[in-house]
Structure 1
Amino acid sequence: MPNSMTPGLAAGRLGPDEIAGNFADLHPPLGTHEAQVAADRCYFCHDAPCVTACPTSIDIPLFIRQIASGRPEDAGKTIFEQNILGGMCARVCPTENLCEGACVREVAEGEPVQIGRLQRHATDGVMARQGHPFERAAATGKRVAVVGGGPAGLACAHRLAMKGHEVTVFEGKPKAGGLNEYGIAAYKTVDDFAAKEAQWLCGIGGISVETGRALGAGLSLDALAEEYDAVFLGIGLGGVNALTAPGVALAGIEPAVDFIERLRQAEDKAALPVGRNVVVIGGGMTAVDAAVQAKLLGAASVTLAYRKTREAMPASRWEQDLAASKGVQLVFQVTPAEMRGEGAVSEVVFAHAESDTPVILQADQVLLAIGQRLAGGEGLQIAGGKIAVTGAGRTSLAKVWAGGDCASGGDDLTVTAVAEGRDAAEDIHASLMGP
């Protein structure tokens, strides 16, 4: 792992005050009046395309109407009924590709209703109240194991607890939250929101969380299936795809997810070492989050290098523009051919898709964001490198369901993971309670 002793990396490139400003809330919350004005722009469409575009099918016109009529807490309840992690999704969803991208106002005027910020306004208000907005049903006597405390696992656990089941969440890391806690840019979820949301969610009761417990590390799927009435797997993609270019073992090269996790858990971001010349390889959200944060930590130059065209880049155009606005240079149609350096990386050589001349970038830190893979299958049927599922997350093993990034068919978004965890919980409940 790179540290302050790795050549080229240094801490304290920016002072604490500048770091604090750089990592302030990307989209500050709306005030009451601002929310009213934003809500008044909604047409409250009967056949709303924004609802169709939402993976959790939140009744968006309804909750915005509730805000417009001065009932923001009712709006929050409407959101949480479909998406219990609506607070985080309001912060991290690519709304420009989902609800806001489908908004009638966006199509007609190029400026959608601020659905994401309105959702945050409503959900934050409910979470700030004492108590929990949902009550548990009568106890069923059934016990369910949820492996993985990320968005899918937490959504599944909450819905099962609400149905009256007892749920144990097994999480390999020290905190629940999954990528919400460890893998998203710090400026998108400030003030330890991911941990607070997980704690709030568990406030419904009937959910116990055991950290430091990962599948395959003293935790057997067979044993869980024997001990519990059902098992849900929301284990994410724990493995990181490998880069085979020569020199990849040089110091200063690491997975972008490790860099982001280190930054997210740091008590003092100003003390984090970062390179002077940083190269990020990849084109998804992780690549953008890593590149932007390297720049915000004080790197003099940050280049995001992607192997395909801008149009093919998985990260949204809004995220691409955000990176550019922070000073990140985006380079397209380049493939890493060689990492050079004496012990530590000093430059990266790329092959260009449309030129015989290589592209050479100076780099004392290289962050790899070239995708993740399933770390282990535990005897499950695998499809496309993920756990094969049918219907609402049913796997090839009896009593075992799966959802989120580890399961086939999803699009690796927090909001999709929530929907899959929720729907699997409904199917588990139906299976446990019988006809």
Structure 2
Amino acid sequence: MTSKLTNGVTAGRLSSAALNANFTDLHAPYDGHEARVAADRCYFCHDAPCMTACPTSIDIPLFIRQIATGTPEAAARTILEQNILGGMCARVCPTETLCEEVCVREVAEGKPVEIGRLQRYATDTLMQKNAHPFVRAASTGKTVAVVGAGPAGLACAHRLAMLGHDVVIFEARAKSGGLNEFGIAAYKSTEDFAQREVDWLLRIGGIEVRHGQRLGQEITLQGLREDFDAVFLGMGLAGVNALRLDGADKDGIRPAVEFIADLRQADDLAKLPIGRRVVVVGGGMTAIDAGVQAKLLGAEEVTIVYRRGKDAMAASEFEQDLAAQKGVRIIHNAAPVGVEGNGSLTAVRFAYTETVDRKLVTLDEGFTLAADQLFEAIGQSLAGVPEDLDVLGGKILVSETGLTSVKGVWAGGDCATGGDDLTVTAVAEGRDAAMDIHATLMGAAG
């Protein structure tokens, strides 16, 4: 039985059985035999290009050799020494544009070693044994505040705790995980894996998490600097860029990140409303995740519209192909210019675009798409920057080791300059900042 909400936006378009089938694992996990067969394809390159392409510099040939020789737990430790969120990264990392793209097998044969699935096999094997491979060092007596329990904050906190520091994580939401919990397509991380990974990570000890603590409200940077020996900012990008169109306040228009978060937190997908005709504006991973999941929820027509060409899309070619396979249409070189409807959305107007001398030019010709739901996926921004922190391009300016313009304050992940907005990059930045914080604190202690 469906429950109509407004203008064609309805819950229960598909049965619970159909929804469960649609939102199963995107890539089925390897069993032990499959993993060893896949591992045997690796050439174990001495100067492996896959390792260079990994933002966290995991020794990929080593961990694959460990799988091939029947020691997946050792392989997991090799992974987790560099990337403590290796389990999630194995699920969501765009391996097709990183390690697997440069795999010698890919270059020679067009079929890489499936590094991501092998990484998942190793880390899942270890986690299923309820084991934590690291032990805390003796207490240093130093305390560090970490703002944000997302990938950067968790990676930073774990490394600091492992080195003997006491860490308090301040998280604005009611649950930890950040992007991994709220911002990734549900078919990429099933069975509540994000929370299980957080719980496993915290077993290192020495980390306290306080939820409902937002920087600038319940806590301040000045207060944290006074109460702790160092501060790491990893709060991500909480602000959402909105379409500046007349009538953009109509019912049926909302940020794609809100839709994805609602879906990830839904106890029953059959109760989640979706339109009959859905339009997504944007060209990144969020746009693809929103479009594909709208289709999987039962939307009849889903169209992603991006203002530039296919090659300019931030979403990988694999993700674009996945959308097409799921029945999502992608239109390039078009930008929204208006919305129609009396109270509720009925259509979105677009103008064609072209790039002239690297500048986007809007043409007079255009088209209209019927729509009862529009998801905005045109980027996010920093919700607020504490005073005294230098900013570049809307993000906190940091050094190579994550140090900000304020003494004793580091930053990493999406809120900081330095890398692309990927989970694996955020982990690397959190880890590296932790090492610099440790060196600074212990140097000060000496």
TM-score interval, normalised by the smaller of the two chains:
over 0.9
Does 1:364 find its partner at 2:372?
yes
Per-residue displacement from partner, 1:350-378 (whole Å, max 9, x unpaired)?
00025643121010000000000011110
Match of 1:344 in 2: 344
Per-residue displacement from partner, 1:81-107 (whole Å, max 9, x unpaired)?
000000000000000000000101001
Shift of 1:343: 0.4
Query: CA contact under 8 A between 2:5 and 2:273: conserved in structure 1?
Result: no
CA distance in 1 between partners of 2:425 and 2:367 (Å): 37
Counterpart mapping for 1:25-424 below 5 A: 25-353=25-353, 356-379=364-387, 380-424=389-433
CA distance in 2 between partners of 1:218 and 1:23 (Å): 37
Counterpart of 1:139 in 2: which secondary structure?
coil
Counterpart of 2:97 in 1: which secondary structure?
coil
Shift of 1:37: 0.5
Query: CA contact under 8 A between 1:8 and 1:275: conserved in structure 2?
Result: yes
Please, which runs of 5 or more residues in structure 1 have no aligned partner?
none
CA distance in 2 between partners of 1:356 and 1:381 (Å): 41
Shift of 1:4: 5.2
Sort the Cα spacing of 1:199 and 1:4 in 2 relative to 1 into closer, same or farther, 3 A.
farther
Shift of 1:8: 1.7
Per-residue displacement from partner, 1:241-291 (whole Å, max 9, x unpaired)?
121122211110000000000000000001100000000000000000000
Per-residue displacement from partner, 1:22-66 (whole Å, max 9, x unpaired)?
000101110000000100000000010000000000000000000
CA distance in 2 between partners of 1:255 and 1:346 (Å): 17
Counterpart of 1:393 in 2: which secondary structure?
coil
CA distance in 2 between partners of 1:101 and 1:411 (Å): 17
CA distance in 2 between partners of 1:253 and 1:279 (Å): 10
Counterpart of 2:274, as a letter, is V
CA distance in 1 between partners of 2:44 and 2:367 (Å): 51
Match of 2:358 in 1: none
Counterpart of 2:225, as a letter, is A
CA distance in 2 between partners of 1:126 and 1:371 (Å): 36
CA distance in 2 between partners of 1:247 and 1:120 (Å): 45
Query: CA contact under 8 A between 2:278 and 2:374: conserved in structure 1?
Result: yes
- TM-score between the two structures when normalised by the length of structure 1: 0.98
Counterpart of 2:311 in 1: which secondary structure?
helix
Counterpart of 1:187 in 2: which secondary structure?
coil
CA distance in 2 between partners of 1:12 and 1:381 (Å): 48
Shift of 1:7: 2.1
CA distance in 2 between partners of 1:297 and 1:390 (Å): 43
| Higher alpha-carbon deviation: 422-431 or 244-253 | 244-253
Counterpart of 2:372, as a letter, is D
Aligned-pair RMSD on alpha carbons? 0.9
CA distance in 2 between partners of 1:190 and 1:391 (Å): 34
Counterpart of 2:365 in 1: which secondary structure?
coil
Query: CA contact under 8 A between 1:131 and 1:203: conserved in structure 2?
Result: no
- TM-score between the two structures when normalised by the length of structure 2: 0.96
Sort the Cα spacing of 1:131 and 1:35 in 2 relative to 1 into closer, same or farther, 3 A.
closer
Per-residue displacement from partner, 1:114-136 (whole Å, max 9, x unpaired)?
00000000000111123311000
Counterpart of 1:367 in 2: which secondary structure?
strand
Counterpart of 1:10 in 2: which secondary structure?
strand
Please, which runs of 5 or more residues in structure 2 have no aligned partner?
355-362
